[in-house]
Amino acid sequence: MHSSMEEALSICRKWEAERASVRAVFKLLSVGGVLEGTVFRVDSDAVTILPRGAKDPLSGFLTVSLLLARSISFIDPRAASTEEDRVVLSKELSFGLGVTFVSGERFDLYEVAD
């Protein structure tokens, strides 16, 4: 299901207020990776994630701008393509946002299940 930037940022603000654990998954043209932490700050067009174990941004941070987002959608791990993936992902992740950028690069941000 598609989302607006404001809806996505509102969810990120909720995660920030709750200090929820999140998992960021990057699928970029030249690099990919996964980072777990908390939402540290939400601006009008960007989200900053503080890695797990970091106490402040001086220890490290990642900011993702949504200005060049082509599409933003809600992600439900229970909608994974295979039953095995649904079971595994539903245990680990609650809900997420998927961002596809104009370049075709992808960024997914999930709330980590308790």
Mean pLDDT for the chain overall:
87
Per-residue confidence at 14, pLDDT binned at 50, 70, 90?
very high
Least confident segment among 38-47, 54-63, 88-97: 88-97
Percent of the chain with pLDDT over 70: 87
Confidence at residue 3, expressed as pLDDT on a 0 to 100 scale: 85
pTM for the whole thing?
0.84
pLDDT over threshold 80, residue 22:
yes
Q: Can you tell me the distance from the alpha carbon of 46 to that of 63, in angstroms, rounded to the nearest whole number?
A: 7
Asked if 26 contacts 34 with a C-beta cutoff of 8 angstroms, the reply is: yes
Select from 27, 5, 1 the least CA-distant residue to 104.
27
Is there a contact between 80 and 89 (Cβ–Cβ < 8 Å)? yes
pLDDT at 81 over 60: no
CATH of domain 2-112: 3.40.1570.10
Q: What are the structure tokens assigned to 36, written together?
A: 């777990």
> Taking residues 30-53, what's their average pLDDT?
94
